[in-house]
Structure 1
């Protein structure tokens, strides 16, 4: 006979998990293969939910004319109309779709609705979910109120804060990545804020991806130092400080090169002004991982992040990180040990 402990161990090892499977409606206005922090985060989240056998109902704008749903056993996609997002090449803003979402969720009722973006599609999802009495979780991924001053809308900052607060306070809970963002939102009158942590794929991003051939294409050898930036080349990223910091670095270490990975509206301008820098454009997957690991120090001057996936991707790749003491850097960098932090 099995003893009680043997029986318990046998049961735990052989019976399927009793954890309930959820039907989760995920609403977002950006998703892979689009390349940005929100899209990458949501792609990983959806993949993780599917691995755990949850059913995901993905609602997003159609990215291009040939874009078609890619359903699997645990994923259904529902593509909505969208329009190009001003001053953000390659992204669509979803158009209002309350009636369509109400019909969808009446027919295929989810257990929970998670809304990742606060545009017209997000508002439609919020209204439809509230009408059907569905629980809603919202994500705070982007500091749009901080972006406003970089795009000529500084006078609208207070209105943007109020707009976002109204949106998120209609959800049962708002999910943020750090305690610092939680404190900031609470100070602005947000309610029901919870932290959901972020991770990094250390099988993809690790020092073993270092590529001497890639460094050779950059024109550097192992004795030279590569300062790396990865991210959107846009006003809100504070790129002028990347070049300023690199110039200061080169004064004490002349054998240094600056490599920038990413694209955006400021690339052409900076490429013309700084022919000494290497601009690699957008990279993804293993190629991106090789670019990280082939650098030596990571410069990240942004003050508008809610998290900044690039910070932990760089750290996982073996780079020391120089960043402001906010967002991911505030939580994961120990000043003087695995990087350097400057006060915001």
Structure 2
């Protein structure tokens, strides 16, 4: 290799990346978990990562770190404790003029993400955006369905002004292409298969749930909110009890959200475990047997991979993470999107034969153990570098604002 080529590689090996987001650990949601992992692993690979996020109520007053830029926020309706970032264009301009990032990753499309996009285009800093949440689908669940078209138009406008948009699943990529989103690239998700492992199964926890060794813990992990299609969760569990009266089943819900109180009234026999993190979350997963995931609004669904890694029999609709990682009848059970009876039948099939459930659970673990983060982080870095190429500095036919 020529000396000049070696010099280019050494000077380009480390990047200064600014990551802009409304949510980040220790907040508990799929977006925060993914971004926390991306940020940590980029730093491990030798990159400098600046985190730009709204100040949360849990942040100490006057908290400041070298690679942390806090902005003002508004309370986010329906998400207690979280803040929706305010527009902060001038603050970002001053900061980035003093020390210019090589590339931005904008993970959320609110006022803070919008101001970051404007500042970056003014300073000619390349931008990669991430499509992490189906906000345009959530509007129907919160009684503002009339906003769906306007929100979709805004999201398309926003993402088409970045050099590329990263999407987590092939089904999401196809759907957004159909809606006129350009420059889409796939960035899947990984799972920590050492943390989420069948060996974390706890007889003591199952005893707390009132379950003996051969009883069936039907698990759900996620936010207890309207967009998660939880009415089907309740309906499916009741159908399983009727179809399998010879088995002792108990519904275990891990997570919190605005529908928790109503679900507790509907399901008085269910166990509500609240929010769990880290080792405790892994123990809850591994102590289950069947995992029901009825959501239809996911861009990916990290919990699907976590449940597979924990060796559970997963039932989900054939989209997002489930479509990518589950082969029906081999390492899980799938139903056609919105086919509620198909979802119930898939869950019932897993409970019909003890040997089939055992085989599916073994295959689930085996598959998930190969879905690590290192290759995904490497691809993420490659996408960031690709966006920095001069030919993609501004998408063709679009003017700078």
TM-score, L = length of structure 1: 0.92
Q: Which residue number in structure 2 is paired with residue 317 of structure 1?
A: 310
Q: Which residue number in structure 2 is paired with residue 93 of structure 1?
A: 84
Report the Cα offset of residue 274 of structure 1: 1.1
Q: Which residue number in structure 1 is paired with residue 154 of structure 2?
A: 163
Q: Which residue number in structure 2 is paired with residue 148 of structure 1?
A: 139
> Deviation string for 1:127-162 (max 9, x for gaps)?
000000000000000001111100001111111100
Q: Is contact 2:225-2:257 (8 Å) kept?
A: yes
Aligned length: 328
Q: Which residue number in structure 2 is paired with residue 288 of structure 1?
A: 281
Q: Which residue number in structure 2 is paired with residue 329 of structure 1?
A: 322
Q: Which residue number in structure 2 is paired with residue 251 of structure 1?
A: 242
* Cα separation, 2, equivalents of 1:239 and 1:192: 34
Structure with bigger helix share is 2
In structure 1, list runs of 5 or more residues that go unmatched. Answer: 1-7, 9-15
Q: Which residue number in structure 2 is paired with residue 128 of structure 1?
A: 119
Q: Which residue number in structure 2 is paired with residue 192 of structure 1?
A: 183
Q: Tell whether 2:212 aligns with 1:221.
A: yes
Q: Is contact 1:21-1:55 (8 Å) kept?
A: yes
Match of 1:272 among 265, 269, 272: 265
Q: Which residue number in structure 1 is paired with residue 199 of structure 2?
A: 208
Report the Cα offset of residue 71 of structure 1: 7.1
SS in 2 for 1:280: strand
Q: Which residue number in structure 2 is paired with residue 239 of structure 1?
A: 230
Q: Tell whether 2:130 aligns with 1:139.
A: yes
* Cα separation, 1, equivalents of 2:281 and 2:305: 14
* Cα separation, 2, equivalents of 1:279 and 1:342: 26
Q: Cα gap change, 1:240/1:196 in structure 2, threshold over 3 Å: closer, same or farther?
A: same
SS in 2 for 1:228: strand
Q: Which residue number in structure 2 is paired with residue 180 of structure 1?
A: 171
Q: Tell whether 2:334 aligns with 1:341.
A: yes
* Cα separation, 1, equivalents of 2:147 and 2:82: 22
* Cα separation, 1, equivalents of 2:62 and 2:310: 34
* Cα separation, 1, equivalents of 2:172 and 2:90: 33
In structure 2, list runs of 5 or more residues that go unmatched. Answer: 2-8, 338-401
Q: Is contact 2:196-2:310 (8 Å) kept?
A: yes
Q: Which moved more, 1:243-252 or 1:316-325?
A: 243-252
TM-score, L = length of structure 2: 0.79
Q: Cα gap change, 1:179/1:65 in structure 2, threshold over 3 Å: closer, same or farther?
A: closer
Q: Superposition RMSD on alpha carbons, in Å?
A: 1.7
SS in 2 for 1:58: strand
* Cα separation, 2, equivalents of 1:150 and 1:237: 9
Q: Is contact 2:57-2:81 (8 Å) kept?
A: no
Report the Cα offset of residue 316 of structure 1: 0.1
Report the Cα offset of residue 59 of structure 1: 0.2
Match of 1:22 among 11, 15, 18: 15
* Cα separation, 2, equivalents of 1:290 and 1:80: 36
